[in-house]
C-alpha cells in the first residue's frame, strides 16, 4: 500500500508538470483526489490493514494528499501567471509609434483681417457695435439723407422683403442705430455683412462685408479722420504705404472723400494691378452730415463727427494679393490652407 501511495504521488506530479492548461488541472484533481479518485480508492482499503500499519499509512496518505494539493495550487498559479504574461504581450502598445495627427482648422483670412482691424480700433478706444442685416428703409437710406427718390439709391439696389423692409446695403445703417441710442462721445466700428443686387464676378458679390467707423464728439475734424485712417492702414499694410484722399459724394457725409492706398503690388509706380494708377481705392469717408446728426437728436452746432466705410474683402485681397473675390467664399481647403 505504501508503494501504491508513492506511485500515485509520482504519477500525479508527472502529469501535473506536463499539464499546460488551467482547465485540465481540475480533471487531474478529480482523478487523484476526488471521491472516486485513486487516493480515495486506496484509503477505502485501510480497514484491511493491521492496527500498527494503519497510522503509518494514514499519515503517508495525508502527506500524499497535501503534496498533490500543494503541487496543484502551485501549478495553478504558474499557469495563471503565464496566461497573464501572454495576454499582456498580445495587448501591448508600442508607445514609440507616432500618434495620429489631428488636422486643426484655422481662421478664414477674412476673419483674420477682421480681427486685426478690430484690435487696432479697440486699441484706439473704439467699441464694436452690431446692427440688423434686415433693416427698414429709414435706417438704411432715409436717416442717412437718402430720401425715396434720391439718385444715389440707384448704386445701392438691394433685396426687398417688403416695400419698407430690406437687406442693408451698407453698415452705415449702424451709425443711425448707435446715434439713436447713445449720446456723444461716440467711438464705434461696426463690421458686418451687406447685400447688393450685383452679379457675381471677380470683384463683385451680392453679399459682402463692410466695416463702418463712426466718431462723434465736440471738435472732431477731418484731420482726426485722416490720422485714424493713416494709423489703421500703416498697421495693416506697413509703414511705407501712402494714403490719398479724393473728393467724392456721399449723401450722409459732407465733405466726403474716397481714400486710396498706394498699390500693394508696385508701391505707387504703376502696374497692372492698379491699372497704372499707383493707387487702389479702398474706402469711402467724410464728416457726418449735420442733417444726419440732427435726425438722430444730436445738436450739430455742438457736436461734429466723421464716418468711414470699407469693404473687408478688398482689404483682405490687398493684404494677401488675392485676385478673385470668389476664392474667399468657395471654401476650397487648398486655397484656405495658404493663410
Ligand atoms: N457706406 C458707404 C458705401 O457703402 C461708405 C461710407 C461710409 C462713406 C461712411 C462715407 C462714410 O459706399
Of ligand 1's listed atoms, the one at least distance from the Cα of 285 is 10
CA-proximal residue: ligand 1, atom 4 (nearest): 170
Same domain, 173 and 44: no
Q: What is the pLDDT of residue 13?
A: 85
Residue 96 belongs to a domain: no
Please state the three-class secondary structure of the chain as a single string: CHHHHHHHHHHHHHHHHHCCCHHHHHHHHHHHHCCCCHHHHHHHHHHHCCCCHHHHHHHHHHHHHHHHHHHHHHHHHHHHHHHHHHHHHHCCCCCCCCCCCCCCCCCCHHHHHHHHHHHHHHHCCCEECCCCCEEEHHHHCHHHCCCCCCHHHHHHCCCECCCCEEECCCCCHHHHHHHHHCCCCEEEEEEEEEECCCCCECCECCEEEEEEEEEEECCCCHHHHHHHHHHHHHHHHCCCCCEEEEEEEECCEEEEEEEEEECCCCCCCCCCCCCCCCEEEEEEEEEECHHHHHHCCCCCCCCEEEEEEEEHHHHHHHHHCCCCCCHHHHCCHHHHCCC
Residue 103 belongs to a domain: no
Query: What separation in Å is there between the alpha carbon of 251 and the centre of ligand 1?
Result: 9
Task: Round to whole Å and give the CA distance between 331 and 53.
Answer: 99
* Structural domain boundaries, residue 209: 109-336
Same domain, 123 and 81: no
Q: What is the pLDDT of residue 263?
A: 87
Query: What separation in Å is there between the alpha carbon of 257 and the centre of ligand 1?
Result: 9
Same domain, 76 and 123: no
Q: What is the pLDDT of residue 210?
A: 96
Same domain, 62 and 147: no
Q: What is the pLDDT of residue 208?
A: 95
Query: What separation in Å is there between the alpha carbon of 308 and the centre of ligand 1?
Result: 6
Same domain, 15 and 130: no
Read off the pTM: 0.71
Instruction: Determine the length of the chain.
Output: 339
Residue 139 belongs to a domain: yes
Please tell me if the CB atom of residue 285 comes closer than 6 angstroms to any atom of ligand 1: yes
Same domain, 35 and 114: no
Residue 202 belongs to a domain: yes
Residue 60 belongs to a domain: yes
Mutational pocket test of ligand 1: of 135, 250, 293, the residue with most ligand atoms within 8 Å of the beta carbon: 250
How many domains does the chain contain in total? 2
Same domain, 203 and 54: no
Mutational pocket test of ligand 1: of 172, 307, 313, the residue with most ligand atoms within 8 Å of the beta carbon: 172
Q: What is the pLDDT of residue 33?
A: 84
pLDDT digits (tens, 9 = 90+) for 129-147: 999 999 999 999 999 999 9
Q: What is the pLDDT of residue 318?
A: 85
Q: What is the pLDDT of residue 17?
A: 85
Same domain, 285 and 162: yes
Same domain, 136 and 218: yes
Of ligand 1's listed atoms, the one at least distance from the Cα of 288 is 11
Please tell me if the CB atom of residue 284 comes closer than 6 angstroms to any atom of ligand 1: yes
Please tell me if the CB atom of residue 170 comes closer than 6 angstroms to any atom of ligand 1: yes
Please tell me if the CB atom of residue 253 comes closer than 6 angstroms to any atom of ligand 1: yes
Residue 94 belongs to a domain: no
Same domain, 74 and 122: no
Residue 38 belongs to a domain: yes
CA distances from 9 to 35, 46, 72, 97 (A): 17, 18, 12, 51
Task: Round to whole Å and give the CA distance between 200 and 220.
Answer: 39
Query: What separation in Å is there between the alpha carbon of 6 and the centre of ligand 1?
Result: 110
Same domain, 84 and 116: no
Query: What separation in Å is there between the alpha carbon of 253 and the centre of ligand 1?
Result: 9
Residue 254 belongs to a domain: yes
The grid coordinates listed for 230 are 493713416
> pLDDT below 50 — which residues of the chain?
none
Of ligand 1's listed atoms, the one at least distance from the Cα of 309 is 7
Same domain, 150 and 181: yes
Choosing from 33, 57, 89, the residue where a domain stops is: 89
Whichever domain contains 292, its CATH number is 3.30.930.10
Q: What is the pLDDT of residue 209?
A: 96
Q: What is the pLDDT of residue 271?
A: 85
Amino acid at each position: 500500500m505504501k508503494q501504491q501511495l508513492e506511485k500515485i504521488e509520482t504519477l500525479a506530479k508527472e502529469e501535473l508538470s506536463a499539464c499546460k492548461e488551467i482547465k485540465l488541472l481540475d480533471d487531474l484533481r478529480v482523478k487523484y483526489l476526488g471521491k472516486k479518485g485513486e487516493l480515495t480508492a486506496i484509503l477505502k482499503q485501510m480497514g484491511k490493514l493491521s492496527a500498527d500499519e494503519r497510522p503509518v499509512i494514514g499519515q503517508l496518505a495525508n502527506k500524499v494528499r497535501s503534496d498533490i494539493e500543494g503541487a496543484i495550487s502551485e501549478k495553478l498559479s504558474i499557469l495563471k501567471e503565464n496566461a497573464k504574461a501572454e495576454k499582456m504581450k498580445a495587448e501591448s502598445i508600442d508607445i514609440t509609434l507616432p500618434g495620429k495627427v489631428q488636422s486643426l482648422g484655422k481662421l478664414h483670412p477674412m476673419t483674420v483681417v477682421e480681427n486685426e482691424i478690430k484690435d487696432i480700433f479697440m486699441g484706439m478706444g473704439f467699441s464694436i457695435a452690431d446692427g440688423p442685416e434686415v433693416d427698414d428703409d429709414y435706417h438704411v437710406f432715409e436717416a442717412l439723407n437718402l430720401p425715396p427718390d434720391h439718385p444715389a439709391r440707384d448704386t445701392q439696389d438691394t433685396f426687398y422683403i417688403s416695400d419698407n423692409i430690406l437687406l442693408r446695403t451698407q453698415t452705415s445703417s449702424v451709425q443711425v442705430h448707435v446715434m439713436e441710442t447713445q449720446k456723444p462721445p461716440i467711438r464705434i466700428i461696426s463690421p458686418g455683412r451687406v447685400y447688393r443686387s450685383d452679379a457675381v464676378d471677380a470683384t463683385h458679390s451680392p453679399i459682402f462685408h463692410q466695416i463702418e467707423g463712426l466718431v462723434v464728439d465736440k471738435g472732431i475734424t477731418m484731420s482726426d479722420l485722416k490720422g485714424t485712417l493713416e494709423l489703421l492702414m500703416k498697421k495693416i499694410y506697413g509703414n511705407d504705404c501712402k494714403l490719398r484722399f479724393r473728393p467724392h459724394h456721399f449723401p450722409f457725409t459732407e465733405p466726403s472723400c474716397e481714400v486710396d492706398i498706394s498699390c500693394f503690388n508696385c508701391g505707387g509706380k504703376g502696374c497692372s494691378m492698379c491699372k497704372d494708377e499707383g493707387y487702389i481705392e479702398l474706402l469711402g469717408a467724410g464728416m457726418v452730415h449735420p442733417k444726419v446728426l440732427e435726425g438722430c437728436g444730436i445738436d450739430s452746432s455742438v457736436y461734429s463727427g466723421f464716418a468711414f466705410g470699407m469693404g473687408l474683402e478688398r482689404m483682405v485681397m490687398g493684404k494677401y494679393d488675392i485676385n478673385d473675390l470668389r476664392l474667399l467664399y468657395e471654401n476650397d481647403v487648398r486655397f484656405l490652407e495658404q493663410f
